[in-house]
Amino acid sequence: MCGIVGGIGNLDYREFLLSGLRKLDYRGYDSAGLAFYNNGKISLYRAVGSVDNLASIVPEGHPGTAGIAHTRWATHGGVTVENAHPQRSYDKKVYLVHNGVIDNYKELKAFLAEKGITFRSDTDTEVIASLISYFLNEGESPLNAIHGAMKMIDGSYALAILFTGTPGLYFAKNKSPLVLGRGKGRINCLASDYAPLMDSCTGFAALEDGTYGVMSQNAVIAFKDGRNIALAFSSRDKEDYSYDLEGYPHFMLKEIHEGPGVMRKNVKNHYDAANGYLFDKKLLDQIAESDEIVLLGCGSSHYASEAAAAFFNTNGFRAASYIASEWIHGIYPRPKKPFYILISQSGETADLISCLDMIGEETPTLGIVNAKDSTIARRCSNVLYIEAGLEVAVASTKSFFGQLALMMLVCGALRKDKTVAEGILAAADSAEQVIAMADQIDAISEKFIAARDAFFVGRGFDFFAGEESSLKLKEIAYVHSEAYPGGELKHGPIALIEKDIPVVAFVGNEELSKLIRSNVEELLARGATPYIVSSKGCSKEGDAFVFPEVRPEFAPFPEIAFGQLLSYLLSIRRGLNVDKPRNLAKSVTVH
Ligand code: F6R
């Protein structure tokens, strides 16, 4: 995954690069590094672990006239200083940082090895540096050397490159995001996303695949297929990239608190009581004319899409939800006239981009996306932004609320049913009250402290809340957790139930309440410790937690608020790094 940042011109490089990395470390945080260009020479600093570890070895006031930096999520080679970026070419003429994966790096390595070139690291990135240097040594200019290498490389890359003895910050991009930023007062920068550029730049351009070029402090020159191209720079709203804890101890807690507000914002953006729904009619017509709505996503975005598909189905539209990385294998039915909805917080998820490659440009698509101008947002034929603002914690929270609310609103608009907008507003209030009852949830989290395993059960819409809550518990509290529809337990999983294993049962639907409660009895009889989380209308004496009543199809909002907080509070109790859990990255740009 990885994040890259670079700049040239009137910058305090140490500060710019380190603070940029801190804003990008959601993309990976197992090691970090940077390089300064100064008077023809390049100095390199790399460290295993956090950006703080890197900061501790980079001298204050380090001189430089350009710089590049990287935060890593290891794909090729272990977490070592030698594998951290920037990577150097064998002859130290080329230093670069890379986000992406080079598919044919073994072949390229063999090609270079034949020429007598040796390697210091296990990374695919070092191969790019030495390949560019190979072309330099063949007499090519830096730009032509980059272009020569691009023609040989299969795979994804966003690259920021420095050349020993040649001023200028060079770049190249294919299938990994890269944004250029133009600053006031002779500054040009680049990064994997907008956040690190917001303080220094006022104009931004997201690059297309196949673009490469060079920036000085005064100009940016870009090429595609050997031809000079013009870049269109536009402004961005700084608020969308606000990176401030605003008094909260962790981003995850802040973002859980923001969830209900994101739901209300989506209602406000797409509905008004006087005029009804405000979506583009053409978009609604395209959906209505399809014979099936196919929803694609990964992780939490997939769970949001499962709940949304059920919502479309129960409102009279045929819809199906698939995990993006499985859908691409062609094992699911292909409707004759599909309408595809691709759901993604980051807008950069590789598995989802592969779906777009398969869908092609003829079939209508809608991106439900948070990150503005991201690859998925640009490539879908329609896009609706969930307007959740920057989500910094690796575990998705407020985005889930925005995604599900927005898809439900689209469904409400298709049916011209104002009770959908009203239901979402009521669910936002209910979720907000759940969040206000954090002390009660914390008391429950104490009982999970020694748990190695846990279960979430539910029926109907409540099951989706179980899936998403279970994912949260795994991700940030490292509890092995399974989510099952209540009726499915007896078909196998109940064999795992042992004394004291905690089971959270969501009960948000009066009609299904009896059934799920009898499933809970079966678990109790086998020694489990159940925690029933019910809506007011479904609640019974002895339930562990009761949330304010909402219609059953909206119950996932308060239920998931409970699941998010339970996981957060348990993670804190266990002393874990809640915003940056192990092995994960926020933007999953590899397959
Ligand atoms: C879970 C989580 C991941 C993402 C998944 C998809 O908390 O954050 O499961 O939901 O990687 O990411 P996006 O939505 O960016 O496509």
For every one of its 591 residues, what pLDDT tens digit does the chain have, with 9 covering 90 and above?
689 999 999 899 999 999 999 998 777 788 999 999 999 999 999 999 989 999 999 999 889 999 999 999 888 888 999 999 999 999 999 999 999 999 999 999 999 999 999 999 999 999 999 999 999 999 999 999 999 999 999 999 999 999 999 999 999 999 999 999 999 879 999 999 999 999 999 999 999 999 999 999 999 999 999 999 999 999 998 888 878 899 999 999 999 999 999 999 999 999 999 999 999 999 999 999 999 999 999 999 999 999 999 999 999 999 999 999 999 999 999 999 999 999 999 999 999 999 999 999 999 999 999 999 899 999 999 999 999 999 999 999 999 999 999 999 999 999 999 999 999 999 999 999 999 999 999 999 999 999 999 999 999 999 999 999 999 999 999 999 999 999 999 999 999 998 999 999 999 999 999 999 999 999 999 999 999 999 999 999 999 999 999 999 999 999 999 999 999 999 999 999 999 898 887 777 777
As annotated, the active-site residues are: 2, 586
Pocket (CB within 6 angstroms of ligand 1) = 298-301, 344-346, 349, 352, 395-396, 471, 475, 588
User: How far away, in angstroms, is 216 Cα from ligand 1 center?
Assistant: 36
Amino acid at position 357, single letter: D
Other Cβ atoms within 10 Å of 12 Cβ, number: 14
Distance 559 CA to ligand 1 centre (A): 19
Residue type for position 309: A
Atom 7 of ligand 1: nearest residue by CA position: 395
Pocket test for ligand 1, best of 588, 589, 591 (most atoms within 8 A of CB): 588
Residue 17's alpha-carbon distances to 14, 191, 222, in angstroms, are 5, 10, 23
The number of the ligand 1 atom at minimal distance from the alpha carbon of 371 is 15
| Own/partner long-range contacts of 304-309 (Cβ < 8 Å, ≥24 apart) | 304/343, 304/400, 304/403, 304/404, 304/407, 304/468, 305/341, 305/343, 305/403, 305/407, 306/464, 306/467, 307/404, 307/461, 307/464, 307/465, 307/556, 308/341, 308/343, 308/403, 308/404, 308/407, 308/408, 308/411
d(CA 204, CA 376): 18
CATH class of 3-241: alpha beta
- What residue owns the CA closest to ligand 1's atom 4? 299
pTM equals 0.87
Q: How far does residue 396's CA lie from ligand 1's centre (Å)?
A: 6
Q: How far is the CA of 408 from the centre of ligand 1 (A)?
A: 19
The token duo for 446 is 């104490």
Task: Enumerate the domain spans of the chain.
Answer: 3-241, 244-429, 437-579
Nearest atom (ligand 1) to Cα of 300: 10
Exposure on the CB side of residue 591, measured as CA atoms within 13 A: 15
Q: What is the rounded CA–CA span in Å between residue 513 and residue 508?
A: 7
Give the integer Cα–Cα distance in Å for 306 and 100: 29
Amino acid at 569: L
Contact 421, 269 (CB under 8 A): no
Ligand 1 atom showing the smallest separation from residue 399 Cα: 14
Nearest CA to ligand 1 atom 9: 299
- Nearest protein Cα to ligand 1, atom 16: 344
Neighbouring C-beta atoms of residue 304, cutoff 10 Å: 32
69 CA to centre of ligand 1 in angstroms? 25
How many whole angstroms from 413 Cα to the centroid of ligand 1? 26
> What is the number of H-type helices and E-type strands within the chain?
17, 26
Q: Report whether 528 contacts 437 (CB < 8 A).
A: no
Atom of ligand 1 lying closest to residue 587 CA: 15
**Assigned fold of 244-429:** Rossmann fold (3.40.50)
Are both 244-429 and 437-579 of the same fold? yes
Q: Is 32 helix (H, G, I), strand (E, B) or coil?
A: strand
What CA–CA distance (Å, rounded) separates 58 from 13?
A: 11
- 350 Cβ contact list (under 8 Å, min separation 6): 156, 175, 588, 589, 590, 591
437-579 is classed in which CATH architecture? 3-Layer(aba) Sandwich (3.40)
